[in-house]
């Protein structure tokens, strides 16, 4: 697929890969492509800048959205949604965590450190229709 892209499109995807790597994201999404377009010195970047869309504003919006709606593993619900669903069923997650740490040691339920990212091209992600859009106004 990549070989069918124009040279400019390839450059945007490579810049998007660099953006995703800099932000320590596991995949390239539309937000990374937007940031990559804003980094270019071409008509597209000037057009976006002329409408008030800047690299700094887009990156701030991306970070804000990801704080509010973290990327869920394997397309599942976000961690806050899981916690709310379990609490609604009567599970006390704080008590469960305390019991697990008492039995297996502090940090027993902490997520493992992320594996080092491959140096090659990161995969492009397909966003679900219900995922939030980044509004840059």
Q: What percentage of the chain carries pLDDT values higher than 90?
A: 7
For 21-38, what is each residue's pLDDT tens digit?
Answer: 888 888 888 888 989 999
The pLDDT value recorded for residue 15 is: 92
CA distance 13 to 110: 33
Residue from 23, 11, 80 nearest 55 by CA: 23
Q: Could you please report the per-residue DSSP string of 80-125?
A: HHHHHHHHHTT--HHHHHHHHHHHH-TTTTSPPPPPPPPSSPPPBP
What is the chain's alpha carbon radius of gyration, rounded to the nearest angstrom? 19
Mean pLDDT, rounded, of the chain: 75
pLDDT at 73 over 50: no
Q: Between 136 and 132, name the one with better pLDDT.
A: 132
Class of domain 2-75: mainly alpha
Whole-model pTM: value is: 0.51
Model pLDDT for residues 35-54, shown as the tens digit of each residue? 999 998 889 889 888 888 88
């Amino acid at each position: 697929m990549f070989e069918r892209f124009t040279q400019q499109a390839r450059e945007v995807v490579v810049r998007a890969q660099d953006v995703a790597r800099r932000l320590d994201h596991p995949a390239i999404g539309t937000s990374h492509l937007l940031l990559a377009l804003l980094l270019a010195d071409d008509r597209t970047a000037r057009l976006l800048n002329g409408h008030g869309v800047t690299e700094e504003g887009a990156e701030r919006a991306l970070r804000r959205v990801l704080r509010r709606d973290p990327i869920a593993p394997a397309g599942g619900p976000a961690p806050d949604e899981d916690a709310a669903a379990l609490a609604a069923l009567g599970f006390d997650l704080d008590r469960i965590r305390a019991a697990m740490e008492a039995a297996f040691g502090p940090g027993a339920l902490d997520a493992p450190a992320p594996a080092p990212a491959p140096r090659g091209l990161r995969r492009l992600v397909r966003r679900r229709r219900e995922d939030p859009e980044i509004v840059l106004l």
